[in-house]
Each structure stands twice: as C-alpha cells, then as structure tokens.
Amino acid sequence: MAAVATCGSGAGTTGSAVATASKSNVTSFQRRGPRASGTNDSGPRLVSIAGTRPSVRNGQLLVSTGLPALDQLLGGGLAIGTVLLIEEDKYNIYSPLLFKCFLAEGIVNGHTLLVASATEDPANILQELPAPLLDDNSKKEFDEDVYNHKTPESNIKMKIAWRYQLLPKMEQIGPVSSRFGHYYDASKRIPQELIEASNWHGFFLPEKISSTLKVEPCSLTPGYIKLLQFIQNIIYEEGFDGSNPQKKQRNVLRIGIQNLGSPLWGDDICCAENGSNSHSLTKFLYVLRGLLRTSLSACIITMPTHLIQNKTIIARVTNLSDTVIGLESFIGSERETNPLYKDYHGLIHIRQIPRLNNLICDESDVKDLAFKLKRKLFTIEWVQDNYLRQERNIYPPGFSYLLKQKDSAWGEGSLQHSTFLMSFLAKATAFASRLVRHSEPLKQTGSGRIHQAAGPRLWHDGRRQEAPGLLGIPP
C-alpha cells in the first residue's frame, strides 16, 4: 500500500503522536508527554525551545503573539504550525502594531524571522519594531499567572482588565529573555543591537519579482508563487522541517506577511468583484498552511479584508485560516464621539479559533472586547455596554424592532427602555431559576392598591400568595 498512501513515509514521523527521542520530529503538533493532562515526563520529552510552551489543553506547542492579553484570548498563545489572520482596521493604523509586536517577540525570544511585504522594505519594518519592556526586578506572581491556565471564568475577565498593567519581571539570560510573552513600548524603537543579533530574512516583492526565476504557469499570482518558494526554501535550508540532514534546527520560524491580498501583491480581489484570479489567494493560503503544518513555524498575516469586494472570498479565506481576529477602529465612525467609547480606540473581534487535536476549542466566553493604544501600551479590555448588546441582538425580536425605529421612544436611555429591560431580564432570570419564585405584582387594578413588593417566596400550593385586599374574591 506504500504507493497509494501518498503521505505515508514522506518526511518520516508526521504520523506519530508522541515524539520519539531519537529523531527530531517534524510534526508541529507534538505532545509534551503521553497525555496532556499532566506535565509529567514519563514519556519521551520534547526539548523545550526558548519562547514556547505547551498548551495545557492539548499539549500543542505555543508561541506568544507579542501581546499577552491576546495570548490569553487565544487560549495561551499561537500554536506552532498555524496561521493567525488579522483583518486590518480601516485605515491600517493598529494592525501594523500587532504585526510588529509579533516580530519583536520573535527577536526577544531569539526566533528566526521571515518578513514579507509588498509595501515596505522588511529592513525598515524591523527598524520600527517597538522596544520590549524589560525589568530587572525579581519574579512576581505574574509569572505564575502566565503559566496557570486553570483560572476560573471570573478571574480571566479581571485578568484582561488589570493584570496586563503589571510589567513582566524576568532575568536577562539567553537570547534576551526566555519568558513567554512580553510587553512593548510603542513609543520607543527596539535597540539596534537586538536587530543585528537576530537572524531574519526579508521578502520585499518589488525586488523579488524582477528576478527571472523560472515559474511554471499556474493559477497563482506570480508574487504569491515567489513568496511560497521563498518560504519553502528558508524552511528547508534552515532545517525547520527536519528534512535537511545537514541542519539540526531547534528553533522556531516566525513568518509575518503584510497586507496580503492588496493590489500591490498583484492580486485583484480588492479591485474587482469577480476577478480573473479569484482562487489565487485561497490556494496560496492552503499551500502555506501545508508548509506550516510540517515545520516548526508560526505565521501572522494581515489582510485588508474591508477592501475585498467579494464576500465569498472572505468567507473562504476565513475557513482556510486557523485563528482569525478582526480589528475595527472607531476612527471616522459614529462611535468615535460616543462617550461610552471615549477610552478606547476600537473593537477587537475574535472571529475564529481553531480546534487542534481536539473536538473542542478554547473559545473564550468574553465576546465584547475593545482595545486602546495608550502612550506606551496596546491593551485589550472587556467592554460591557449596551450598544454591543443591542447589535448582538439579545433583545426579544419585537423589542429590537422598536429600538431600530428612528427617534423611537424606546431608544437607549429612555425610561421606557430601562424599565422594559429590567423587567425583561428579571423575568428571564426568574424563569430560569426553579427554586426561587418571585411573586409578580398583579395586573394594574386601577384602584391604587399597594402591591406587595416582588421578592423571593416559596410556592406552597402552586398559586401566588398575596395579601388579602379589596380585590379578594368573595366566596
């Protein structure tokens, strides 16, 4: 059956779930121990790489995205072998910052970088990376928090809100730091010596496209073909997939691709609804994911999805990516002047989290997240506010209709709205709880009778108890 099973032998050990000690495994999905529940080393161990840690849920190897708050939301970090797609905000102000934090995290951890862009020279991108916030103080309990995933739900919310304020405490060893996840100062540049000490490769499309490389005709855009070949070359040459006998690599490759899908890449999905090459991008993503799955690498892609005309392509791109987050900035929208949002710069949507080696995924319960870029730090917080709730449509259908009317008397902030909301929510919770019954006031009688206040009351015989009054039914 060897001929038929095309993926059988290949790069050797893609099949085995547990890392064998002798040969370095090429699978990116490796388990640290026989079962993910404990971190015992009863089985063969994976040599730990700086800047990575195994996921508690499924033993998946994770790297930090450069934003500890985002790591939390993604279930601990970005899994090696996967793609993180960032849907750019409208004016491309905040997505480059996430992109740069990811790369800066790679430099601080000593990972190899591969930066691809059609707009900017990768050397310039690296010059503009934010400076890491490094502290000489001894470890604090923050470290334990970072490694402790079993926090209950309420703690996670608190963590997002205030924990990030703490700066990481770490020792200066190894590359620059072996800690998982750092904070970055967006107002300062990364020290030049860190860039020079790092190992990085740049792919600047205008330079590469002019070279006459023999390329077979295929429905991918030439820029994408070149990029895939470049990535595959680096992975093979530097031994990230274990297939090169000369190279024994125990490091992670971080790939960053900027503005993928924009016209500068030669793709027309942002210009035309039914372009000639509508499958180019999706094919690229598929082959890229194939490369990632068989190597020790993680990739971040920013894409101007707000420019893509054809919604089908966005849906397919989302399906073909592993983790997808979207940034929505408030600039130019009506929310900019909304007092509720005065502290924030935009919303961050977690659109998709992958299920890796598992039937379930680490979906966070917190859905309303906003970000802000203060003078130094990019932070993400949980926002509870009525606007988001309204847009998520958790109101009963009839009420939503009333709200949507222009100048409706039921608008936000009106007395009718608040009263309705309170009684709706009260009834909803009362329905759900079987043990406690609230005695609801009777219908308005018009006689001015004082009703009994609603309060917890046990039903004795299934009927409401109430004080006898003028409306006591005559026997």
Partner 1 sequence: SRPSLSLTEIEGKLTLLCDAKTDGSFLVHHFLSFYLKANCKVCFVALFQSFSHYNIVGQKLGVNLTVARERGQLVFLEGLKSAVDVFFQTQEEPHPLQFLREANAGNLKPLFEFVREALKPVDSGEARWTYPVLLVDDLSVLLSLGMGAVAVLDFIHYCRATVCWELKGNMVILVHDSGDVEDEENDILLNGVSHQSHLILRAEGLATGFCRDVHGQLRILWRRPSQPTAQRDQSLTYQYKIQDKSVSFFAKGMSPAVL
Can you give the binding site for partner 1, defined by CB under 8 A?
1, 4-8, 10-11, 14-17, 27, 29, 31, 58, 81, 216-219, 228-229, 232, 279, 282-283, 286-287, 289-291, 293-294, 311-312, 314-316, 319-320, 355-361, 363, 365, 367, 392-394, 432
In contact, 295 and 235? CB cutoff 8 Å: yes
In contact, 61 and 28? CB cutoff 8 Å: yes
Dist CA 72 CA 62 (whole Å): 12
| Main-chain phi, psi angles of 457, to 5 degrees | -155, 135
Task: Spell out the residues 6+ positions from residue 441 whose beta carbon is closer than 8 angstroms to its own.
Answer: 451, 452, 454
Q: Which two tokens stand for residue 17?
A: 């779930």
Q: How many CB atoms lie within 10 A of CB 24?
A: 18
Compute the least distance from the CB of residue 134 to partner 1, in Å: 36
Compute the least distance from the CB of residue 285 to partner 1, in Å: 8
Minimum CB distance to partner 1 smaller for 93 or for 403 = 403
Minimum CB distance to partner 1 smaller for 158 or for 315 = 315
Helix (H) or strand (E) holding 352: strand 346-352
Compute the least distance from the CB of residue 393 to partner 1, in Å: 8
Helix (H) or strand (E) holding 433: none
User: Taking each helix axis from N to C terminus, what angle separates 222-237 and 280-293, rounded to the nearest 10 degrees?
Assistant: 10
Q: Which residue has the tokens 């809100």?
A: 161
Q: Which amino acid is at 393?
A: N
Task: Spell out the residues 6+ positions from residue 135 whose beta carbon is closer than 8 angstroms to its own.
Answer: 167, 168, 169, 170
Dist CA 110 CA 116 (whole Å): 19
Compute the least distance from the CB of residue 216 to partner 1, in Å: 7
Compute the least distance from the CB of residue 419 to partner 1, in Å: 23
Minimum CB distance to partner 1 smaller for 30 or for 251 = 30
Compute the least distance from the CB of residue 76 to partner 1, in Å: 17
Helix (H) or strand (E) holding 155: helix 153-162
Q: Is 86 helix (H, G, I), strand (E, B) or coil?
A: strand
Minimum CB distance to partner 1 smaller for 149 or for 449 = 149
Pick from 226, 220, 219: which is nearest to 203 by CA?
226
In contact, 130 and 100? CB cutoff 8 Å: yes
Compute the least distance from the CB of residue 38 to partner 1, in Å: 15
Dist CA 12 CA 26 (whole Å): 8
Compute the least distance from the CB of residue 286 to partner 1, in Å: 6
Residues in the chain: 475
Task: Spell out the residues 6+ positions from residue 249 whose beta carbon is closer than 8 angstroms to its own.
Answer: 238, 239, 240, 242, 296
Pick from 50, 143, 167: which is nearest to 105 by CA?
50
Compute the least distance from the CB of residue 195 to partner 1, in Å: 31
Compute the least distance from the CB of residue 360 to partner 1, in Å: 5
Minimum CB distance to partner 1 smaller for 146 or for 313 = 313
